[in-house]
Amino acid sequence: MTLSRSVLAHFWGSLLLLFFPLVLAGQFAQRIRTARPSVTMGTYTIGKDVLQWQAGTRWQEVHKDKLDHEVLQYKNVLRWGFLEHWEMSGVLNYQLDWAETRGSRGATQGIRTIRLGVRHHLFEKAGFFKAAALQGRLWLPFSHRDNRQEILGGRIMASVSYRLLGKLQLITNGGWRWTGQASSKAISFFSLRFSHPLSRKLVLVADYFSDSKAFEPDYAIGIGYFIHTDWKLDIAVGNLGDSLKRHRYLEIGWATRIHWRE
């Protein structure tokens, strides 16, 4: 079932009228904003005339039956605030894989991910519901060495943040993604991110996430450290749960930004 253009136009028009009085505040924060170290996307844009670079190195290992698989991935996200409440982003990940099964070992490497996206911050206000955003990304087709994306894929989702007890905060993500494979269908997913400041510069983060259909919850815990208003370091460990395998990871990363705001 598809929605008509008039229904969609009415929906977005109503949404803009509802949130317009709440989105006048600037998005640029005194301290760099990034959801790292977390798989859950945030609810804010970075602000107009800001360029932000987020990077990380992730090591994963999978043990399943007689297969031992290790992955080293270099992750890069570039975010550009072209309007106060709109930003564009690009993702480029490079990956090295080592697999050993039945006594034989092989290695592959190459670009793993190329994505382009846009995020719109909807509102920020006092109360239980703190902020919200919509985000979409396209998974672009490519072929590089041992990796390829056959056809166009993508993901669309909503992100909402909440004020809980004290300084404890929660961000929820929910949406759909499709891999771009010819036989694949859209998959719904969700994630929860709890965060709590341990000090002015240190924040503790915990993630809980899964596909909605094949419910096998994954979890992670991490720490972010602000070394400067424009620099942040982070580290996280996680387990991607499956009854048939052990799949864990460690990720270390950082984020920085430059801006030319008046």
Read off the pLDDT of residues 63-109 as tens digits, 9 standing for 90 and up: 776 778 899 999 999 999 999 999 999 999 999 999 887 677 789 99
pTM comes to 0.85
Q: CA 4 to CA 9: how far, in whole Å? A: 9
- CATH code of 26-259, in short, is 2.40.128.130
Extract the tokens encoding 80.
Answer: 């550009």
Residue with tokens 């052990």: 246
Q: Residue 246: its pLDDT value, please?
A: 65
Q: Residue 3: its pLDDT value, please?
A: 45
Q: Residue 18: its pLDDT value, please?
A: 46
Lowest model confidence (mean pLDDT) among 14-18, 103-107, 120-124, 227-231: 14-18
State the sign of the Cα–Cα–Cα–Cα dihedral 162, 51, 59, 67. Answer: positive
Bridge partners for 241 per DSSP: none
Extract the tokens encoding 55.
Answer: 């990077």
Extract the tokens encoding 97.
Answer: 């894989």
Extract the tokens encoding 177.
Answer: 């993604």
**154, pLDDT greater than 70:** yes
Are the CB atoms for 73 and 93 separated by under 8 Å? yes
Q: CA 234 to CA 37: how far, in whole Å? A: 6
Q: Residue 215: its pLDDT value, please?
A: 67
Read off the pLDDT of residues 202-239 as tens digits, 9 standing for 90 and up: 999 999 988 877 667 788 999 999 999 999 999 999 98
Radius of gyration of the chain (CA): 19
Residue % of the chain over a pLDDT of 70:
84
Around Cβ 182, how many Cβ atoms within 10 Å? 7
* DSSP-derived pairing of the beta strands 142-144 and 147-149: antiparallel
Q: Residue 220: its pLDDT value, please?
A: 93
Are the CB atoms for 42 and 120 separated by under 8 Å? no
Read off the pLDDT of residues 29-61 as tens digits, 9 standing for 90 and up: 999 999 888 889 999 999 999 999 999 999 998
Name the average pLDDT for the chain: 87
Instruction: Calculate mean pLDDT across residues 190-201.
Output: 96
